[in-house]
Every structure is written in C-alpha cells, then in structure tokens.
Amino acid sequence: MSTTTVQLEEPKISSIKLPSGQTVTVKSEASVEADEIPIIDVSPIWGDDLEAKKAVAEQIREAAHRIGFFYAQHPVHTPGIESKYAKAAFKQGKRFCDLPVEKKLEVDTARVPVEYVGYHKLQGYNRNGRKNNDLSEAFNWAYDARYDPEAVDKTEPSISIWPSDLPGFKDDLYAYHTELLRFARRMMGIFALALHMPEDYFDEYTKRPEAGMRIIHYPEQEASATDQNGIGAHTDFECFTVVTQDDCGGLEVLNKAGYWIKAKPVPDAFVVNIADCFMRQTNDFFVSTVHRVVNKSGRERFSIPFFFGFNRSKRLEAIPSCVSEENPMKYAIMTSGEYYHYRATNAKSGSY
Ligand SMILES: O=C(O)CCC(=O)C(=O)O
Ligand SMILES: [Fe+2]
C-alpha cells in the first residue's frame, strides 16, 4: 500500500500596505479555491414577510461578521434585478474603454479632485507599491437625483462628468444604477435587521444616499501577482459594495488566516462586501475585508461595483446594538461625508 504525502508550500509571509494606511499580513501571493464565501438567496427582500427577511438577515449577520463578503443570489424568477440592465452596462463599459485614450481623458478624474468620478487611466495607480502599476482602468459616476425614482430633490446638481458624443452611454449606466439603488435600499433594511435593529433604522440616511458606481476593465495580466495587481489590495469606503462580475474570475478576498480566497463568479448573484463606514459604525462587528483583483483568465475582465452608503451629513455614530459598557465605541465620530472625502482624496493622490 502506498500513501501520498501532500507537500504544503512553505508560507512566504509578506506584508502589504493598503491605501487606507493599514498594513496586512499575507501568507502567500497565490490564491486558493475555497467555499468560505457563503451564497445567500436574498429573494425574500422583495416581499413583506418579516420572518423570511429575518432569516436572510441572520445569514447575512454571520457572513458580515465572520468574513465581510457573501454572494447575494437573486434567482432569475424573482422580481428585482433584471440581467438586461447589467448586460447593457457591460456593453457600454467596453465601448468606453475601447475609445482612444485622448477621448477618455476628456473626462479625466483629475478634473474633479475631491470626488471619485470620471476616468481613471490604465495603470494610473500602484495601490500596494508593486513593481508594475495596477493593470486596470475605470469610469466612475455618482448618484444623480434625476435617475432616482425616490429622490427627495430632483433639482440637485450632479457631480459626475460625461464623455461627449457617446449616445446612450449615460442612460444605460443610470438604468442599471437605478436598479441597484432599489436593491441596495432593500439590502440596507436587511442589514438593519442583521444588526437586530428595526428594518427601517437606516431609511432616513439613504433617502439621498452616497451611491457611486464604476465600470472597471482589467486587461489580461501577464506579470505575476507578486509583481502586479489588477487592482491592489484595499478596502472600500462606504457601507457596502455590490459587485456585478463577468464570468472571468479574478476577484480575491483575504481571509483571516492570511490567504487569498477566489471569489469566483456565481450565476445570478452579486458579490456583496462590507466596507469601512459600516465597520466603523458597527464598532468592528461587521468586517470590511481586504480584497484585490488579479486577472489571469487569459481574456479581458469587466466588473461593475456599486458603492452604497449614507447621506454625507450622517454622523457615523455607533449602532446601539454594537456598543455596551464593556465594548465602547472605538472610533472618532465624524460625518459620512468627512470620512468619504478623507478616503477619496487619499485614494486619488496615488501617493501610496
Ligand atoms: O473588480 C472587482 O471585482 C472589484 C473591484 C473593486 O474592488 C473596487 O473597485 O473597489
Ligand atoms: Fe473594492
């Protein structure tokens, strides 16, 4: 009888400096397949059955606390998100990225220094100080009250910048943005339940939400993950992010043990991750987990993250169920807008 011994690779411990200033330890640059990211069927969020919503909320509570990432599966037969909107947005993203660089630079993000809107050029950042700059480019746009059916003030001017002569671009991107706004507001109710608060606990702060969106394009990467990222390791700044991925794969999540776990594409499911505002407000009960993208699929990858957070005037005070005498608030209180500007300015300075 013969036995096979699996030789485990010696961990090559390294530390990565994140754009937020934090440093994390990574055991290996290679990523692994694992089932750590739960797949949660969120279809009850569209109905009125509070018990069914609470059952979803408990699964989300566990995922948000333990790993900070989950898949929100929305079976096609349920109402809510229709895939035609995502398809149209992906198509517009490719159309934009295929434009000559001079045309894309008409909407260079440098034109709006303190906001995360416009075009971020290819290899414009090096988030973790790698040999080569991050191999991605992106177009970002912000909330616009005119495309929010629930907007309080439709006359509020928008801060986004748009390329000229690209008919249909803005409309198709906002058509998907509007769908995701509806989804994210519902999810906010579920997060409130997950924190054992009333479902409408956050409603006041998401009437005029922070809701930026981007299409990010990753050409195929030849360099190793040690020398280059598609997007370097980072955490997001808002409450949570909803990512629509194509079928290439490449998104990776750093688990508590210090290994990169592949967040592989799952049909009819968004990847949802907790971001820093929620982590602050929940006094670290929800975890904002480090992630990156390395595109080794052999083809170009596109993804559409939607970043959802509170009204900029909302003070990030602790959620009552997350503090106690034994567990006081760890973070200084500031408004969501102050925190956003601090993080967006740092992220765009590219000085890390
Ligand atoms: O492309 C992805 O899947 C994730 C992108 C991302 O993490 C980001 O833009 O913050
Ligand atoms: Fe991210």
Residue 30 lies in a domain: yes
Helix orientation angle between 169-194 and 50-66, rounded to the nearest 10 degrees: 90
Q: How far apart are CA 206 and CA 188, in angstroms?
A: 8
Q: Does any domain span residue 311?
A: yes
Q: Does any domain span residue 5?
A: no
Beta bridge partners of 140: 118, 214
pLDDT of residue 7: 47
Range of the domain at 70: 14-349
Distance CA 154, CA 29 (A): 47
* Number of compact structural domains in the chain: 1
Q: What phi, psi does 177 have (nearest 5°)? A: -55, -45
Per run of 10 residues, the mean pLDDT along the chain (length 352 residues) is 47 78 87 91 95 98 97 77 91 98 96 91 93 97 97 93 96 96 97 98 95 98 94 95 97 94 95 96 96 97 97 92 96 90 76 36
Mutate to test the pocket of ligand 1, among 303, 306, 307 (most ligand atoms within 8 A of CB): 303
User: 115: Cβ below 6 Å to ligand 1?
Assistant: no
Rounded to 5 degrees, what are φ and ψ at 124? -80, -15
Q: Does ligand 1 lie within 6 Å of residue 251's CB atom?
A: yes
* Helix 83-97 × helix 169-194 angle, to 10°: 130
Q: And the tokens for 62?
A: 């566990």
Q: Is 148 within the bounds of a domain?
A: yes
How large is the ipTM? Answer: 0.99
CB 236 near ligand 1, within 6 Å: yes
Cα of 241 to ligand 2 centre, how many Å?
Answer: 8
User: What 3-state DSSP class applies to 80?
Assistant: coil
User: What was the pLDDT predicted at 78?
Assistant: 65
Q: Please say whether the beta carbons of 250 and 296 come within 8 A.
A: yes
pTM (2 d.p.): 0.94
Residue 8 is assigned to a structural domain of this protein: no
142 CB less than 6 Å from ligand 1?
no
Residue 184 lies inside a defined structural domain of this protein? yes
Check pocket membership of 245 for ligand 1, CB cut-off 6 A: yes
Q: Which CATH number goes with the domain that contains 214? A: 2.60.120.330
CA separation for the pair 344, 266 (Å, rounded): 30
Please tell me the residue having the least CA distance from ligand 1 atom 3: 251
Tokens of 215: 């299409």
E strand or H helix that includes residue 238 = none
Can you tell me which residue has the tokens 């990156």? 292
Ligand 1 atom, smallest distance to 263 CA: 3
Nearest to 116 by CA among 246, 184, 19: 19
Residues in the chain: 352
Residue 6 in any domain: the answer is no
Measure CA of the first residue to CA of the last residue in the chain; give whole Å. Answer: 55
Could you tell me if the CB of 252 is within 6 A of ligand 1?
A: no
Per-residue pLDDT, 350: 59
Helices (H), 67-133: 83-97, 101-104
**Can you tell me the distance from the alpha carbon of 255 to that of 113, in angstroms, rounded to the nearest whole number?**
33
CA 130 to ligand 2 center in whole angstroms: 18
Residue 153 within a domain: yes
Candidates 241, 274, 297, 302: which one to mutate for ligand 1, based on the most atoms within 8 Å of Cβ? 241
